[in-house]
Chain A
Amino acid sequence: MGIEAVKKIRIIAHHSVEKNLIDYLQSLGSMHLTRVASETPERELLPTEIDKRLEEGLQRLRLVIQFLTPYEEKAKGLSAIFGNRIIIPPEDYENFDKEEELNGVIEQAQSLEQQIHQAEAMLSNLENEVAFLRPWSQLDEPPDTLDSFYRVKVMTGVLPAEDLDAILSQIGGETPLAHVDVLHATKREAYVCALVHKSAENALVDLLQKNGFEAVKLEGTLPPSEQIREKEAQMETLRETLSGYHETARRVAERLQELRVLFDIWEERLKKSRVRQQFGATERTVLIEGWVPERIIGKLRREIDNKFQLISLDEIEPDEDESPPILLKNKTLVRPFELITELYGMPHAKEFDPTPFFAPFFAIFFGLCLTDAGYGLVLLVLSVWMVRKYKILLKGSKLIWILMIGGIFTILMGGITGGWFGDMVDRLPSALNGIKDFKNAIMLFDPMKQSMIFFAIALALGFIQICFGLIIKVARDFRDGEFLDALFDPIAWLVLLNGAVLFGLSGAGILPPAFRAIGKWALIAAAAAIVFFSDREKKNPILRVVSGIYTLYGATSYLGDVLSYLRLLALGLATGVIAVVVNIIAFMVAGIPYVGWLGAVIILLGGHAFNIAINALGAFVHTTRLQYVEFFPKFFEGGGKAFKPFKREGKYTLVYEAEKG
């Protein structure tokens, strides 16, 4: 239970076995490597030529995978979320022999990408050219011939459309030897062709420029409309070529899975080469240091002796300031909740793993936040189905197991509060009264009508968990032999809190009056202990008492902590009420003739699915928060670093050995 014992070891081996040793340690997957202290001679480990080539190859491969991915057929539904890892047996992974072939594919994909880029660039150039020529398509002459007249100058350009009529009539009036054709007009611009006798050219140019004329230079031995037709034909061919390229890309993309495997293989190769930088070395030997779980040391020693020669394995003492990495180890049912601890941060080496302490609370709280047996069933069925379907991919997933256990507790909590998809059971036709009887038989109270009971349950659970946290602290202080610390901190608070509760409950008539006196004196004694002894380091008695009073003021935070558990009530009620609302709306819609039943089914499915999703998220988040903010600070410090074994971690692949037999 709790934290796995780990030992630091040092392996000294001859250079000749280094490579195989790294392979072995990776397949073992249970050693947390550390950098070998610098007193040992550092070896020259600049990135080798091979490393550099690998890095370049990886970079290229990354781009190729990026380029090909859109051409791949998409996985649908849940597979898109879970199914994108490639599951590959170790033999196939280690003997992957398509490297040569795939190098060809990479080159093909790269040149394909370049061709597509080029074709797309040409296409967009042509599009721009056509867009430029389009307004001039009324011009019947080839632009090049317009310059070749002896007496007449032809100008093409754009005039502002706004006062076009005024400009044209002005030209007609002032320069009789000119003629202006409007070829095309938009709201803002008019595309014009002006013909003028060369004797009047300057006059016309002046006039035009005064009116905002912008000359446009047209080129080509064909009239613009012909040019457009020609370019459009080119574009058509280009588009065909492009769709040919896309087709090829789709075909190449069929190799994507293999490319991804290759990516992981190369990356692993690079990683194995880089890990050597952490090792120490002498002229002939290599030094590997790291942490392994104590229970595998025997097996490790045997296997290393069998597999390698010229090797030795020793347990060594860690450096003074070095604390072991933390590897959590719990029983099957508690293990999924390690996720919550990992998210918060690992415990440090000298304290308890909090996981088994909060796991039962977590499950109950999660159930209370949902309090609907129907929803619990849905969560349970869904998570069991996913675990079965994605057995390998979800192997290490703790979240899915939390959902499963949470689902079971939701069924329990829903059962005692009578929630089955809201008030669905009460709406069933009377032929199904058996179900109703069953519901009523296991139901303890109705949270909607008797919310004070729920209120009391939430507060009581909060109080219990906080006291439990303090008890863990007492246990830890006792283990460390700090009895005074235990007495004046967690024990004093336990007495104070319980005394206050006894005092209050007997005052309210729930407990017999005899407890009132007990509670009162416990309260006074504990408060006195806290005021006078909580800050024992201070010599000055006045400062000590002032500091003690301030510590006693911390009682308000205990009050706040307990009240915070009321969120269980609010979230539980919220789930139930929304479920009821969904039912009300659905049954209202069901009254519509002919199509009503369809609407009702859609609303029921959609509404309850939405309610489950949003409230399961809320239940998870707020239950987690109760552990982090209310429970952990009572006893838990954290700050340990996680045990990260050297193992195979593919970006795309999961190397998995099918179970034999």
Chain B
Amino acid sequence: MDFLGSFSYAVPLAGAALAVFLAGFGSSIGVGLAGQAAGGVLSEDPDKFGALLILVALPGTQGIYGFLGGFLVINKLGLLGGHPAHLTMLQAWQVFFAALPVGFAGWISGIHQGKVCAAGVAMTAKRPETMMKGVIYGAMVETYAILGLLATILLLNGIKLS
């Protein structure tokens, strides 16, 4: 592979990396926020562990979506056991940009979902029966991470590689 050809792989791989780690940032901050809130509640009432676990785990999905986006990019490039696709520089950048929606949407929405879930934790602490309502509010934020993932999937689908 010539110099330009191997360089062209760096671009989409940077996109895959961004998708994974930006969404991972979001989820780790989000889960962190919810987890801290839950830890405080558990010190008073350890029986709520199961109910709070769901609220704490909820902002974790962005990281998974980001990972998924990264995987789809790698799969698209044929780097997993297949025959690596031949890329032009233009295609390399196309794949790069296709990877961004899930990364950025996951990053910011992960943080905010964490805040909503932390509020849900506080709500569940006072009124355990409202737990599912907190979960649904958290899912409202997650919509935008899902849309980001969807955009990445559709964009990748639209890029034709030989």
- The minimal Cβ–Cβ distance linking A588 to chain B, given in whole angstroms, is 10
State the interface size on chain B (CB cutoff 8 A): 29
In the complex, whether B72 has a CB less than 8 A from a CB of chain A is yes
Q: Are A625 and B139 in contact (CB under 8 A)?
A: yes
CB pair A621–B71 under 8 Å, yes or no, is no
Give Cα A577–Cα B68 distance, bound, in whole angstroms: 7
In the complex, which residue of chain B has the Cβ closest to the Cβ of A611? B64
Q: Which chain A residues border B138 with CB–CB below 8 Å?
A: 621
Please tell me if the beta carbons of A570 and B149 are within 8 angstroms of each other in the complex: yes
Task: Type the 1/0 row for A557-591, where 1 means its CB is closer than 8 Å to any CB of B.
Answer: 00000001011011101100110010010000000
Q: Chain B residues near A81 (CB, 8 Å)?
A: 50
Interface residues of A in 77-109 (CB under 8 A from B): 81
A343 and B132 form a contact (CB under 8 A)? yes
Give the Cβ gap from B64 to chain A, nearest Cβ, in Å. Answer: 7
Residues B157 and A618 in contact, CB atoms below 8 Å apart: no
Interface residues of B in 50-104 (CB under 8 A from A): 50, 54, 57-58, 60-61, 64-65, 67-68, 71-72, 80
- Chain A: residues with Cβ within 8 Å of the partner, total of 26
Q: Are A577 and B71 in contact (CB under 8 A)?
A: yes
Interface of B is mostly: helix
- Over the window 453-473 of chain A, the binary record of Cβ atoms lying under 8 Å from chain B Cβ atoms (1 yes, 0 no) is 001000000000000000000
- Whether the Cβ atoms of A574 and B68 lie closer than 8 Å is yes
**A341 CB, nearest partner CB in chain B, Å:** 12
Residues of A within 8 A of B54 (CB): 617
Chain B residue at smallest Cβ distance from A620: B135
**Residue numbers in B under 8 Å from A241 (CB-CB):** none
CB-contact partner of A574 in B58, B60, B136, B149, under 8 A: B149
The interface residues of chain A, by DSSP majority, are classed as helix
CB pair B149–A578 under 8 Å, yes or no, is no
CB atoms of A564 and B150 under 8 A apart = no
CA–CA, A158 and B143, complex, Å: 66
| A629 touches B (CB below 8 Å) | yes
Quick check: A614 and B60 within 8 Å, CB to CB? yes
Asked if A617 contacts B71 (CB within 8 A), the reply is: no
Residues of A within 8 A of B50 (CB): 81
CA of A569 to CA of B151 in the docked complex: distance in angstroms? Answer: 11
Query: Are B135 and A584 in contact, CB atoms less than 8 angstroms apart?
Result: no
From residue B98, how far is it (CB to closest CB) to chain A in Å? Answer: 14
User: Which residue from chain A places its CB closest to the CB of B149 in the assembled complex?
Assistant: A570
A578 x B140 contact (CB < 8 A) = no
B153 touches A570 (CB 8 A): yes
A121 adjacent to chain B (CB < 8 Å): no
Report which of A455, A573, A614, A625 forms a contact with B140, defined as CB distance below 8 A: A625
Known: A617-B58, A618-B61, A625-B136. 8 other contacts (CB 8 A): A81-B50, A564-B143, A566-B146, A567-B150, A569-B153, A614-B61, A617-B57, A628-B136
Write 23 A-B pairs (CB below 8 A) sorted by A numbering: A81-B50, A343-B133, A566-B150, A567-B143, A567-B146, A567-B150, A570-B65, A571-B146, A573-B153, A574-B64, A574-B68, A577-B71, A577-B72, A578-B64, A578-B67, A584-B80, A614-B57, A621-B135, A621-B138, A622-B146, A624-B139, A625-B139, A625-B143
Q: Which residues of B contact A (CB under 8 A)?
A: 50, 54, 57-58, 60-61, 64-65, 67-68, 71-72, 80, 132-133, 135-136, 138-140, 142-143, 146-147, 149-150, 153-154, 157
